[in-house]
Amino acid sequence: MLKINQLKASVEDTPILKGLDLHIGPGEVHAIMGPNGSGKSTLASVLAGREEYEISGGTVDFDGQDLLDMDATERARSGLFLAFQYPVEIPGVSNINFMRAALNGKREHAGLDPIAGKDFLNLVKEKSSLVELDGKLRDRSVNEGFSGGEKKRNEIFQMAMLEPKLAVLDETDSGLDIDALRIVANGVNSMRSPDRSFLVITHYQRLLDYIVPDFVHVLVDGKIVRTGGKELALELEERGYDWIKEGVVS
Amino acid sequence: MAYEGKDKVLEDVTAKAYEFGFTTDIESDKAPPGLSEEIIRFISEKKNEPEWLLKWRLDAFEVWKKMEEPEWPHLSYTKPDYQGISYYSAPKQKKELASLDEVDPELLRTMEKLGISIEEQKRLSGVAVDFVMDSVSVATSFKAKLGELGIVFCSLSEAVQEHPDLVKKYLGSIVPTKDNYFAALNSAVFTDGSFCYIPKGVRCPMELSTYFRINESGTGQFERTLLIADKGSYVSYLEGCTAPQRDENQLHAAVVELIALDEAEIKYSTVQNWYPGDAEGKGGVYNFVTKRGICHERSKISWTQVETGSAVTWKYPSCILKGDHSIGEFYSVAVTNNAQQADTGTKMIHLGRNTRSTIISKGISSGRSQNSYRGLVQIMPSAENARNFSQCDSLLMTDTSGAHTFPYIEVKNPSAKVEHEATTSKIGEDQIFYCLQRGIDAEQAISLIVNGYAKDVLNQLPMEFAVEARKLLAVSLEGSVG
């Protein structure tokens, strides 16, 4: 699904990713953990096609296509979804209209006609129940006046609507209380399937109790320095990152 | 990297030419260029006007000659040569085209994007239409229905002949000839415009628009509109249309006067899309408009405008809140692009007790354009318990465009409550990226964000007009048409 080889990226001449390798197979859930400033969110932004980042080396293959050659819209329409760490507010644009534009963009890309009004509303109903997002939030402006938890649930709702091949969750657990965390995790788990992959970026092991990963990677200073199973997350929780960092240095 | 995003789109927007360049040759009965007493007498005679109106025009001309063109707006333009303009041109039958095939395909594409029906496209582009065409029959039954209710809706020239008492009583009563330079000029030489009278207690059952006016002669560059809503009546009036309008006249100086008698309500909506000129602003329309309404007791006037055209816009639809408990509202979206300049806003003059006014202004500047909000809220000593709320937001699409706010507030009664909020923001890269990441392309993203920003104003427009106006905003800011 996703093959990242020796990816190097910098922002304003400061190198952040320094030769990152990561392979994600179909249906797999990978978690990336790492200390602050290790490049986790940069990885998410680079994959989504954010312009501020300069790619200075490496390749990214997404489902057989050269990801780095596509613009952000194409990547999204080809099935890459990013759940933002800080979802953006768009005043005056209803969540529903926003989703319809997004879905129809994707359908256009696939050579399909715009979705019929009734089908769209049914889909909204079905998917919003997945994350317990009530009607009021669907009709309000995109993320405007949403609480932190509501914003994150809205991200998962959008993901469910767009049915991506690869979903990148950028610190989706940050700022969530335990109930919201459970709702978000349930939403994600219900979407797990043999042909959909997840890349879960997180700071804390807590999220991985709910979304159980197949692999856990540790990102330090722009490189993946250790890979293991879900038990690695528990070890990190217990021992912190220092022992790994020291291991890297020595 | 392929994320072309905002900068690319905005560059395209800025570089975009006005593709709606379509003009129809009009054979006209034209007066020689220049402005003089003789010309004014000529106009008045051509229109078979009564003596009092001729005198009114001549007085206005005397006033105008002593006035100076205003320098205070935040605008820079070459002043028109007033002696180089022809002040009378009676349009004869327009040359009709046989079919839409003869119409500029670019223009048709634009109209299609704006969702304008085929019949309407024909009408707007001067194609001969079948007599049984819908709008004609609609217009006929429409006229009949209005007639039953006693509503008068005709050209001002017609009203001068048919309803001289009303015209004489109200013409210039709200915008006196000496009000300002352009109003004085208009008073001296106005050619035609609309007249509307709603009788006591009548609720006009449909939106009145110039589209339905049977008198199809061009309104010309000095348009004059007079709208009187008698006690307890209601009317919603639509001016202009979203379809691009080109005009050979560079200078437009219109005057609109609204009179809302006790407990009447007037909703006046405008979409202005005059030719803005080329990327340098050359050849665009100068739009200097004076619009003002007076509110008597417990009446309400609501101005809503969507301004996307003209090279230079100078326009302040205002309300004189004379009657106690009267209400004035102003909702505006002004888009400027390329070298366009707009200095627009409103004046709310509170005279009566418990008068209320609301101002919502949304400016959008792109290209190298300059967009100014200029507004006055004046609470006079007699205006006990007056209230005003103003919100003036500016959205910058480029680093090279400008947004300016000139709010004037004068409070002469201590019981007044006046609130003013203003924001200036640059279109958010984060917002655009968020849209892109959801598979929405950059142009559509900008359209969504801009329409969302202007929503509070667009929602004030009558439904169908609002749908068209939304599309117009998108088209106005679109990068690669066709």
The answer to whether the CB atoms of A73 and B456 lie below 8 A apart is: no
How near does any CA of chain B get to the CA of A91, in Å? 6
Judging contacts by C-beta atoms under 8 Å, the chain A residues touching residue B428 are 88
Mean pLDDT computed over B5-22? 41
Q: Is the Cβ of A69 closer than 8 Å to some Cβ of chain B?
A: yes
Name the domain count of chain A.
1
**Residue ranges of A 222-241 with Cβ closer than 8 A to chain B:** none
Structure tokens at B306: 């969507």
User: What is the reported pLDDT for B27?
Assistant: 40
Structure tokens at A101: 């534009």
Domain of residue A220, CATH code: 3.40.50.300
Q: Is the Cβ of A70 closer than 8 Å to some Cβ of chain B?
A: yes
Judging contacts by C-beta atoms under 8 Å, the chain A residues touching residue B5 are 51, 72
Judging contacts by C-beta atoms under 8 Å, the chain B residues touching residue A141 are 452
Contacts of B317 (CB under 8 A, 6+ apart): B256, B268, B270, B291, B292, B293, B303, B305, B330, B346
* Dist. CA A95–CA B438, nearest whole Å: 12
Q: Which of A55, A82, A99 sits opposite B437 (nearest CB)?
A: A82
Per-residue pLDDT tens over the stretch B167-197: 999 999 999 998 999 999 999 999 888 899 9
Q: Percentage of chain B with pLDDT > 70?
A: 78
Helix, strand or coil, per DSSP, at residue A151: helix
Cβ atoms of B355 and B344 closer than 8 Å:
no
Q: Is the pLDDT of residue B115 over 90?
A: no
Per-residue pLDDT tens over the stretch B457-469: 988 888 777 877 8
Task: Name the residue type at position B8.
Answer: K
Instruction: Please report which confidence band the pLDDT of residue B244 belongs to, taking 50, 70 and 90 as the band edges.
Output: low
The answer to whether the CB atoms of B440 and A49 lie below 8 A apart is: no
Contacts of B297 (CB under 8 A, 6+ apart): B262, B263, B323, B324, B325, B326, B352
User: What is the reported pLDDT for B215?
Assistant: 32
Mean pLDDT computed over A173-201? 91
More confident residue, B340 or B203: B203
A110, A87, A104: which is closest to A169 by C-alpha?
Answer: A87
Per-residue pLDDT tens over the stretch A34-90: 988 899 999 999 999 998 899 999 999 999 999 999 999 999 999 999 999 999 999
SS3 percent helix, strand, coil of chain B, rounded to 5, is 30, 30, 40
**A87 DSSP assignment:** P
* Dist. CA A103–CA A157, nearest whole Å: 13
The answer to whether the CB atoms of B439 and A141 lie below 8 A apart is: no
At residue A183, φ and ψ (nearest 5 deg) are -65, -45
Q: Is the pLDDT of residue A179 over 70?
A: yes
* Chain centre distance of CA B218: 16
User: What is the reported pLDDT for B474?
Assistant: 78
Mean pLDDT computed over A102-108? 95
Cβ atoms of A92 and A149 closer than 8 Å:
no
- Domain with B14, as residue range(s), is 5-27+89-476
User: What is the reported pLDDT for B212?
Assistant: 43
User: What is the reported pLDDT for B425?
Assistant: 82
Helix, strand or coil, per DSSP, at residue B399: coil
Per-residue pLDDT tens over the stretch B47-85: 889 999 999 999 999 999 999 888 888 888 888 888 887
* Dist. CA B389–CA B270, nearest whole Å: 22
Strands B370-379 and B402-411: parallel
Q: How many CA atoms lie within 13 A of B313 on its CB side?
A: 35
Q: Which of A72, A88, A93 sits opposite B452 (nearest CB)?
A: A93
Q: Is the Cβ of A109 closer than 8 Å to some Cβ of chain B?
A: yes
User: What is the reported pLDDT for B294?
Assistant: 97
How near does any CA of chain B get to the CA of A205, in Å? 27
Q: Is the pLDDT of residue B7 over 60?
A: no
Per-residue pLDDT tens over the stretch B321-363: 999 999 999 999 998 888 888 899 999 999 999 999 999 999 9
Strands B234-240 and A14-24: unpaired
* Dist. CA B250–CA B311, nearest whole Å: 9
In angstroms, what CA-CA distances link B69 with B78, B215, B318? Answer: 11, 33, 20
More confident residue, A94 or B28: A94
Structure tokens at B128: 């001969």
Q: Which of A51, A103, A158 sits opposite B3 (nearest CB)?
A: A51
Asked whether residue B199 is assigned to any structural domain, the reply reads: yes
- Domain with A27, as residue range(s), is 2-249
**For residue B447, what is the enclosing H or E element?**
helix B442-453
Structure tokens at B456: 């509070």
Q: Percentage of chain A with pLDDT > 70?
A: 98
The answer to whether the CB atoms of A93 and B1 lie below 8 A apart is: no
Asked whether residue B59 is assigned to any structural domain, the reply reads: no
How near does any CA of chain B get to the CA of A242, in Å? 34
Q: Is the Cβ of A186 closer than 8 Å to some Cβ of chain B?
A: no
* Dist. CA B332–CA B458, nearest whole Å: 9
Write down the pTM of the prediction: 0.79
Instruction: Please report which confidence band the pLDDT of residue B106 belongs to, taking 50, 70 and 90 as the band edges.
Output: low
Q: Is the Cβ of B433 closer than 8 Å to some Cβ of chain A?
A: yes
Mean pLDDT computed over B230-244? 84
* Dist. CA B231–CA B317, nearest whole Å: 22
How near does any CA of chain A get to the CA of B1, in Å? 7
Q: Percentage of chain B with pLDDT > 90?
A: 42
More confident residue, B219 or B262: B262
User: What is the reported pLDDT for A82?
Assistant: 97
Q: Percentage of chain A with pLDDT > 90?
A: 72
Per-residue pLDDT tens over the stretch A108-150: 999 999 999 899 999 999 998 888 887 777 788 999 989 888 9
The answer to whether the CB atoms of A74 and B5 lie below 8 A apart is: no
The answer to whether the CB atoms of B452 and A92 lie below 8 A apart is: yes
* Dist. CA B375–CA B377, nearest whole Å: 7
Strands A141-142 and A90-94: antiparallel
Helix, strand or coil, per DSSP, at residue B273: coil
Cβ atoms of B326 and B299 closer than 8 Å:
yes
Ranking B53-67, B106-120, B294-308 by mean pLDDT, the lowest is: B106-120
More confident residue, A61 or B155: A61
Name the domain count of chain B.
1
User: What is the reported pLDDT for B69?
Assistant: 87
Cβ atoms of B335 and B364 closer than 8 Å:
yes
A155, A202, A181, A150: which is closest to A29 by C-alpha?
Answer: A202
A53, A85, A87, A48: which is closest to A201 by C-alpha?
Answer: A85
Contacts of A231 (CB under 8 A, 6+ apart): none
